[in-house]
Structure 1
Amino acid sequence: MDLRIESFLEMMSAERGAAKNTLESYRRDLEDAAGFCKAHQSTLQEASTDLLRDYLASLADAGFATSSQARRVAALRQFYKFLYLENLRSDDPTITIDSPKKEASLPKIMSVTETSRLLDLAAEEAAEGIGTPRAIRIHALVEVLYATGLRVSELVSLPVEVAKRDDRFFIVRGKGNKERLVPLTAPARAAMKRWLAARKLQGDEDSPWLFPAASETGHLARQVFGRELKELAARAGIASAKISPHVLRHAFASHLLQYGADLRTVQQLLGHADISTTQIYTHVIEERLVSLVNDHHPLADLPR
């Protein structure tokens, strides 16, 4: 038992109110580091920066996820801060140690075929003569979402005025209270026209919201839309775990890039303030460029 680790855990419990699971996580991480130090003729309290770097490198070599490595670094930083403040050590060996960067996670993306199947079913269920107001609404929602790439919060809270100005596009007020223009596809315009008629028949003509509902806000809740979207996906034979409003937003961006749109245009349509946010989709551009060169370069198929 390392008395310094025990003292540190007691401090975290008494002064920071750390939960039991947090304390156990710190204990495991610090005891693992202490074992590494002992195997290299040192103690955790006396470990040098180089020895700690070697320890973290051993985690990477062992295949630990970057999130696990980052958690170990955080535990070590807290531990050495404690030693320094308690005058048990005159320096902090973790000051120059960087946390490993998390791998950029690629967004979940639906294929064009899956998206088409989803939209086709929504249109079929909303068809005149059999479509209920709910079916007509979900059809309008998915068509507009896939046509514009709106954030789900932007979509469900659209004021009805945006649909009455010009059916060719919406003017959306997004993050930072900034407005942007998003064009509508022909299917989205048709679905929206049908929804406006159904909305009027429901007696919602006086509501200020495009998608009114009996909720605290007065408009459709994002959770309700998410649930109805998953139900639609299940009926279309698409795993419900694979889809959400945000996944459809990703599909909008990815499919545009896949078929030739440039990153700056997609940035504007998504309402990203910084293009670095949009660059999670660069893998789509890279794949398209590789395919372009392989398919059209005159010497691409010649043996070397």
Structure 2
Amino acid sequence: MKGNYSEKTEYSPEMRIFDTGGNRLYLNQSERERFLEAAKEESRENHVFCHTLHYTGCRPTEALELSASRVDLVDHAIVFRSLKKRRYDNQGRKKKPAFRSVAVPERLIDDLDLVFDLRTRTKDKSRRVEPLWSMGRQTAWRVVGRVMARAGIVGPQATSKGLRHAFGVSCVMSGMPLHKIAQWLGHTDTKTTEIYTTIIEEEDRGMLMRVWE
């Protein structure tokens, strides 16, 4: 078992990775690979949008805010404004926007640069802060749904949230520290992130099956 997670964990009540019927709400490895492949049949803009969701675990609305100024071409990272955070603190004061940086594969940065000509945009003061994608969130959800269908992924996990959960699950299964996963996903409290540690139980099956080999 990877990672060092407590057995007595209180999970955030609003987070679920299985629905009430016991169905997965996250994509498994095979589904993630099929999603990435199916996205290649979309337009260049939609293709790289889907890959951005997959490799960062961001929400579609967070991706749609991205501009050239938020893509680090040197260190291969993308900076997101974390949404769904409380706008006011306990004293009623308005909080400043929260941002997070997520490292991504170099090939994703190359694709973003190729599709949106980031190097040229960054030299223009007005264009460097313009959103890369012009579609709205409803269209973005339809793009993800279409790619899921093309990949043969059906069920409650076939959503953009399923991709976000898949990112968290993959990080936990790779032994990444919870506080880092929380940071990459934009979670305020690691209790929200700890729900992904329940997937470690899948490793128990692998260990048990080795008994019968």
Query: What TM-score results when the alignment is normalised by the length of structure 1?
Result: 0.51
- Segments of 4+ in structure 1 off by > 6 A? none
Q: 2:72–2:78: 8 Å Cα contact kept in structure 1?
A: no
> Structure 1's 243 and 301: CA in aligned 2 closer, same or farther, altered over 3 A?
closer
Aligned to 2:152: 237
Q: 1:143–1:191: 8 Å Cα contact kept in structure 2?
A: no
Give the letter aligned to residue 166 of structure 2. A
Aligned to 1:106: 17
> Structure 1's 169 and 116: CA in aligned 2 closer, same or farther, altered over 3 A?
same
Q: Whole-Å Cα distance in 2 between the matches of residues 182 and 141 of structure 1?
A: 15
Could you tell me how far 1:151 is from its partner in structure 2?
Answer: 2.0
**1:133-172 Cα shifts (integer Å, max 9, x gaps):** xx11111111111111112221111122112554600122
Residue 210 of structure 1: which of 131, 150, 173 is its match? 131
Which secondary structure does the structure 2 equivalent of 1:171 belong to?
Answer: strand
Q: 2:45–2:115: 8 Å Cα contact kept in structure 1?
A: yes
> Which structure exhibits the higher relative contact order, with contacts defined as CA atoms closer than 8 Å and separated by 6 or more residues?
2
Report which of the two has the higher share of helix. 1
Which secondary structure does the structure 2 equivalent of 1:248 belong to?
Answer: helix
Aligned to 1:23: none
Aligned to 2:99: 179
> Structure 1's 191 and 243: CA in aligned 2 closer, same or farther, altered over 3 A?
farther
Alignment of 1:240-279 (within 5 A): 242-279=157-194
* Percent of pairs with identical residues: 26
- Which deviates more, 154-163 or 186-195? 186-195
Residue 196 of structure 2: which of 266, 281, 285 is its match? 281
Structure 2 unaligned blocks of 5 or more: 1-12, 19-24, 86-94, 121-125
Q: Whole-Å Cα distance in 1 between the matches of residues 52 and 32 of structure 2?
A: 13
Aligned residues: 179
Query: What TM-score results when the alignment is normalised by the length of structure 2?
Result: 0.70
Alignment of 1:1-304 (within 5 A): 105-107=16-18, 108-123=25-40, 125=41, 135-163=43-71, 166=74, 168-174=76-82, 175=85, 177-197=97-117, 206=127, 208-213=129-134, 220-239=135-154, 242-288=157-203, 290=204, 294=208, 301=211
Rg larger in structure: 1
Q: 2:15–2:192: 8 Å Cα contact kept in structure 1?
A: no
> Structure 1's 105 and 285: CA in aligned 2 closer, same or farther, altered over 3 A?
same
**1:237-267 Cα shifts (integer Å, max 9, x gaps):** 2227542211111111112212322322211
RMSD, aligned α-carbons: 3.3
Aligned to 1:70: none
